[in-house]
Every structure is written in C-alpha cells, then in structure tokens.
Amino acid sequence: MKNYISTGDKQYLLSLEPSDVTKDLFIDLFANDIEKQGSRFETNDKMSLTIDEIQRKFNTENILGDGKGNKTSISTTVGRYIFNLYLDMANIFGYINQELSGGKIKGLNSILSSKLLERDIEIEKAFEFVDKMDWLGYSINRMIASSLTYDLLEPLPEVEKLKNELFEKYANEIENKDMAIVSKIEDELLDLSRKLLKEKGISDFDIYESGARGSFSNNYKNTTIMRGIIKDPSDTDNFFISKSSLMDGIPKGEFHNYANLIVAASYSRAVGTRSGGYEAKKLNAAFQTVVLDDKDTDCGTNKTIKVHLTERNKSQYSYRYIIYRNKMIQLDEESLEKFTGKVVNMRTPLYCTNEKICSRCAGDLFYRIGIQNVGLLANRVGTKLLNLALKDFHDVSITMHDININDYITRQ
C-alpha cells in the first residue's frame, strides 16, 4: 500500500465528475494487466481531503465514518473517493468514509429507508441507489475482488495449537457431549482465526469480512478449523463431535457421520420446507381479520410494556409511541437517538381496547408504508421457517445461545 498519493494524482481525481465514472475509468484506475504492469492506483491508496474540498466537490460537510466531526480535513482512500463520486448521493449520506463491508452496506440501506419514511427523498432515489450498487458490484468485481487462495484455506498453526489445548482441557465435557462447551471452543477458535488473518493481511479474507460470499462461522470453520457438531438424523437427541476440518480430510471412522450431513441437508430442503409453508397458511387464516383503525386513533389505554432500546434493536421500534413523563412521544429518528440505551414504557397492540388496533398502540410505521391488514404480516414467521429449512442445505451447523427467560418477561 502506498502512503499518500501525489498532488498531481489528487488534482486529477478532483477534476473527475460523476458522469466520468464508467467501467473504462475503473479499468484505467484499478485494473492490472500484462501490458500495464500494475494498476495506476490501489483502492486503499490514501489521500487527504479538506472539508472545503469535500464541500465544493460533494456539496456537503457531513462525514459518515472516519473523520466525522473534523473541522479542517480527513484522511480517506482513492477507492472511497471514487465510490462517493460514482454514487453521487452525498446529500443523503454525507461523504462516506468507511469500509464498505456487508454490515456497512446494510447501514446505508437503513439510512436510505429512514429518509424514505421521513419523506425526505423520493422513491426514485432509492431505485437509483439499488441500480448503482448492483452495477458497481457486477462491473468491477473481477478488477478489485479477492480470489480464494491457499493462504486462506491453510489451517493456522496457532489455531491448531489452541484447538488441541481446548480439546484436552474440556475432554470430560466433550466425552459427555456438552454442546455448549463445543460451541464455546468453536467461538474461541473463530475469534483467534479472525484476529490472525487480519494481522497477516491475507487479502482473500475480504471474501468473508466484506459479507460478499460465504459465512466465516460456517464455511471457514468447516473448511479450515473443525466440523464440530454433527446431528444424527435418525436420533435427534444424539450427535457426534468431529475435531477435523475438511482441509484435514475426513477420518475413516467418521465417514458415516459425514454421510448423515448429506441426509440432513437434503431432508431439510426436500421435506423440512413444508413445515414453514404450512405455518404460513395457518397464520394467514388466524390473523387475516386483524386490521388497523384509522390513523391518529387512540383507544386510551394506560397500559404499556417496558422495552430496553439499544443500538441493535432501536430500528424495530421506529414510529412507535412511548409514555414519558405523562406525555405520549413518537419514536422518530431524533427521539430514538435520545432514548437509546434507556428502558421506555411503550404502547402495544397487546393492550389495545379498540375493536381494530388503534394508531397509538400500533405505531405509525404501517400507515407510512400503506399497510392496513397487519394480520397478514404474521405469515412472515412461516416464511422465515421455510427459508431456514432451505438454508439448512448449505449450513447444518449447530449454534448455542444463552437465554435468560426473565429478560423476556415484564411485570406490570
């Protein structure tokens, strides 16, 4: 990676307009071929931009990501600069100065969704965003995307050493088939692997880190660390623990267990999907009569539920109503930030006393997106089960979660 690009290169980039960003430009800037003997830039080459330059070029002083709040200048990269120029939506996001991993792209989608719900942008802008992101991903993938190499597939000695130590440390628990311990071992090995891969700078780790392809906790784990828990499809209470990875090869004595994986995966896709489909039909039948009352209606109930708003769940409660100091407050973008991290008293359809669910108990999100027959949304549960059965064909691993039932019970 270069340090900072030259003044001449920076002036060239600043001279470009959004209409200049084409596939030919990407080839000129980033593609490497035999004739060129290298590319003009690497996407992570650094460049400095003053806030004045950002204002003149993008008509904004807002920064999303690294450098937010800076008053004079920020450090960015050539790749980020070209992305912002191509996207040409700084009026919505500000200058985007962050890694564009799968999670960050979801963050951009969330910002766009909020702007749509607030009526700050037209729907055509959302269509433009989707079209541009699709074009960008498909057009330049072969120029800048990583390819899978042996460096990523090869088991890491440090991880292998820790795996042997953990299997020895928890030998009794493993012998007694303690799934929680096996899950704990896998988590420790995955954490160490992720740390080492970043430190070693293995470029194709981006395949997982970007969210573009595969699952680190499934594909990488099975391929390079260990297969872990394998269920017995003929006995749901029985399972086998495989210490080997696919790179190690399947031990002869475990062939029948790995064959069970094929059976379980095929069963989920061929037969398991019907459960989700059936549940969706039942939910449709049961909840089809559940509809919303007119907008701004209020049944007047004084009952609420306590909800802890966090960064992770706050988007689920957009435009719901809470009672704060005897006043009703709608959780819009501004108030959500104010109450994040706090426990709030929220109105809920559970306590609505109207024949139809009133606006204050339901919240205003459904009215904003034009849905009145909210009961039909219940089939999403069945659809989720169906999709999970389909995904089991590719991922039949078992994960463990600690759940404290008291976290899900509120007392009035």
pLDDT at 412: 45
78 or 398, higher pLDDT: 78
Q: Which H or E element spans position 381? A: helix 379-391
Residue 144's nearest CA partner among 3, 9, 32 is 32
pTM of the model: 0.67
Residue in the block written with tokens 């564009």: 100
CA dist 343 and 410 (Å) reads 12
CA dist 339 and 342 (Å) reads 5
pLDDT in tens, 306-363: 999 998 898 889 999 999 999 999 998 889 989 999 999 999 999 999 999 999 999 9
Bridge partners, 330 (sequence order)? 321
Q: Is the pLDDT of residue 394 over 60?
A: yes
- Give the type of residue at 338: K
Cβ atoms of residues 111 and 120 within 8 Å: no
Summary mean pLDDT of the chain: 87
CA dist 154 and 93 (Å) reads 40
pLDDT at 397: 65
- In three-state secondary structure terms, 215 is coil
Q: How much of the chain, in percent, has pLDDT values that exceed 90?
A: 49
Cβ atoms of residues 346 and 359 within 8 Å: no
Average pLDDT rounded to a whole number, residues 98-110: 86
Bridge partners, 307 (sequence order)? 344
pLDDT at 395: 64
Rounded to 5 degrees, what angle do the CA atoms 166, 224, 268 make?
100
Residues with Cβ within 8 Å of residue 120, at least 6 apart in sequence: none
pLDDT in tens, 124-162: 999 999 999 999 888 777 776 777 889 999 999 999 999
Average pLDDT rounded to a whole number, residues 30-59: 85
pLDDT in tens, 240-289: 889 999 999 999 998 988 888 888 777 777 777 777 788 888 888 888 88
